[in-house]
Chain A
């Protein structure tokens, strides 16, 4: 290899390295600037989701230990004598669905709410929308106990679309929460 070639290769390497280094530095800076705020906003959303799924006078108490056979339960909040708010993370169609399930002391679902999801717009993401369709989907779970399933699997939950990917994932999330609550009571 001639020296001029070597120089050229080194120059290319140096420039590409410089570009990536600058971008990485900027990214680190932006991350440092925003990480705290994003964490605070997520905590706020979680608190709001707890209130939505299980209205209660009691302050939510985060439990240190809880039964979790499915491996999908992220956290459990005890709501005094009213029941539990169970935070579940379960695989959806594109990304994990991050949801909160309220379970009353008697083992029935009091409500579900979504903290984050990236389901297909127009199909699966209807589940979290504040529309009549979304509301109807979520309210189907209220009062259910034991285990739930979509109609295609012989259950009672009407799915959002024919593919049932999101609906099945949500049903599995609710099952994980119900199993966890059953182990607590």
Chain B
């Protein structure tokens, strides 16, 4: 149980989006405003943690040959239940996250972590893995969101600090292309390069110290 190590992996060295390149569909589709990034990030973190715990609990019961089918059923069931509960009891949150929740079922981070981590590790470690990978996912989404929102819409924090967000770039500057899928790929590519540079630097520093 090494929370710090797992957090570092989630945020940087094993970041689900920037290093493992998982969950790219949602990372491209929704990262156009800070609110979207935070909303999707939190929703995935909660569901990833829950599904990691359940799959870790069942890891000795489910035979390897049918594990994928069983995991998919469990994850899809989980997401649908949370969707229904939110709709009934937390309608404002459900309205805000409405488009993201069905997307989570097909988010391969959930299945990826179930397969790579929860099916081989204890309950507590799996829960921590859910939280740290979720934080890493959220951080990557927020980073993409901030860049795309600033360059594509000229604002910061729309939906979070106010409905419109704080306007930073005046009207003629923002480029629609950054809001469109192209902008998502451009931003993602730049961020992946930055992450690689950062991890390389950290590794070199560690090696020099050793």
Chain A interface (Cβ within 8 Å of chain B)? 11-12, 15-16, 19-20, 23-24, 26-27, 30-31, 33-34, 37-38, 41, 94, 116, 118, 120-123, 125, 129-132, 161-162
Contact = CB atoms under 8 A, between A and B. Distances in A.
Interface in B10-45: 29-30, 32-33, 36
B81 A26 contact: yes
17 contacts: A19-B62, A19-B73, A20-B73, A23-B74, A26-B81, A27-B80, A27-B81, A30-B81, A30-B84, A34-B89, A41-B87, A41-B88, A121-B32, A121-B33, A123-B32, A123-B179, A131-B158
B112 interface: no
**Most chain-A Cβ atoms within 10 A of its Cβ — which of B33, B74, B77, B179?**
B77
A171 B198 CA distance: 49
A161 B179 CA distance: 10
B176 A161 contact: yes
B74 A19 contact: yes
B98 A19 contact: no
A122 B165 CA distance: 13
B88 A34 contact: yes
B189 to A, nearest CB: 19
A121 B32 CA distance: 7
Interface string B59-91: 001110110011001101100110011011101
Contacts of B89: 34, 37
B164 interface: yes
B36 A121 contact: yes
B99 interface: yes
A33 B30 CA distance: 31
B32 A34 contact: no
Q: Is the interface of B mostly helix, strand, loop or mixed?
A: helix
B116 interface: no
B163 A15 contact: no
B32 A122 contact: yes
Nearest to A128: B95
The 4 A-B residue pairs with the shortest CB-CB distance in the complex, in nearest-first order: A122-B32, A34-B88, A23-B77, A37-B88
A119 B156 CA distance: 21
A30 B176 contact: no
Nearest to B148: A122
B163 A131 contact: yes
Contacts of B152: 122
Nearest to A36: B88
Given A27-B81, A162-B176, A38 B88 contact: yes
B70 A34 contact: no
Nearest to A123: B179
Given A12-B66, A23-B73, A23-B77, A122 B179 contact: yes
Given A12-B63, A15-B62, A121-B30, 20 more contacts: A11-B63, A15-B63, A15-B66, A16-B69, A16-B70, A19-B70, A19-B73, A19-B74, A27-B81, A30-B84, A33-B88, A34-B88, A37-B89, A38-B88, A41-B91, A118-B98, A120-B29, A121-B32, A122-B153, A161-B176
Contacts of A11: 63
Contact of A130 (B80, B98, B163): B163
Contacts of B74: 19, 23
Nearest to B165: A131
A122 B145 CA distance: 11
A12 B61 CA distance: 11
B85 A26 contact: no
